[in-house]
Amino acid sequence: MTEQHPSTTERLAAAYNRMMERLRERMERGDEAPGPTLDEGIKHAGNKAVELGELSREEAEKIGGWIKRDIEEATLYLGDSGREFADWLKFDVNQVEERLLDALLSVADRTKLELAAFERSIGSHHTYHAGEITGAGVLECLDCGEPAHFYATAMISACANCGGTQFRRPRA
C-alpha cells in the first residue's frame, strides 16, 4: 500500500493552524512581562515549526505574515465597528473549525491594545492574493466583488467569477 502525502496546500494550511495554536498558547501563558507581543509570538511559533521540521524558515516566515494579516484584519474590524466576530466572518461561526476560531479570537483580543497604534498608522487594509493561506472568513475579489467563503484555513484561489487574484475582507 502506498503512503499518501498531503498536498502542499494541505500541509501549509495545517501548519498555519499549528502556528496559530502555538501563538494562542504563548499569548495566553504570558510568561514574559508585560507579555509577548504579536510579532514575538508569531516568531516563536515559526521558530518552533522550523525546529520540529514542519516548515522551512521561508515557509514559516510566509505563514507568520499571513497569520499576522488575518489577526490584524479581525482586530481592526472588531475595534472599528464594535460588531460581533460573526459579522466579520460574514457567516455563521458554527461552520468554522472550533480550534481555529478559539485561537483567532483569543489572539485578536490579546492584541487589541497593541494593534490600536497599528490601526492609526495605516490608512488601508490588507490585500490578499491567490496562492496565500488565509483563515476562516469571506474575501471579496477586488476586480468584480465576488465573495469567496472560507470555513477553514485554506489556500486562496483565483476568483471563480472573473479569475482575479487580489482580494480584501469586506467592510461593514
3-state secondary structure of 152: coil
The single-letter code of the amino acid at 38 is: L
The Cβ of residue 86 has, within 10 Å, a number of other Cβ atoms equal to 13
Structural domain spans, the chain: 8-124
Phi, psi for residue 133 in degrees, rounded to 5:
-95, 140
Measured CA to CA, the distance from residue 51 to residue 55 in angstroms comes to 8
Query: According to the model, what pLDDT value does residue 145 have?
Result: 93
pLDDT per residue as tens digits for the range 22-61: 888 887 775 555 566 888 889 999 999 999 999 999 999 9
Q: What is the pTM of this model?
A: 0.68
pLDDT per residue as tens digits for the range 105-144: 566 555 554 555 555 444 456 899 999 999 888 899 999 9
| HEC-encoded secondary structure of 81-119 | HCCCHHHHHCCCHHHCCHHHHHHHHHHHHHCHHHHHHHH
Measured CA to CA, the distance from residue 107 to residue 104 in angstroms comes to 5
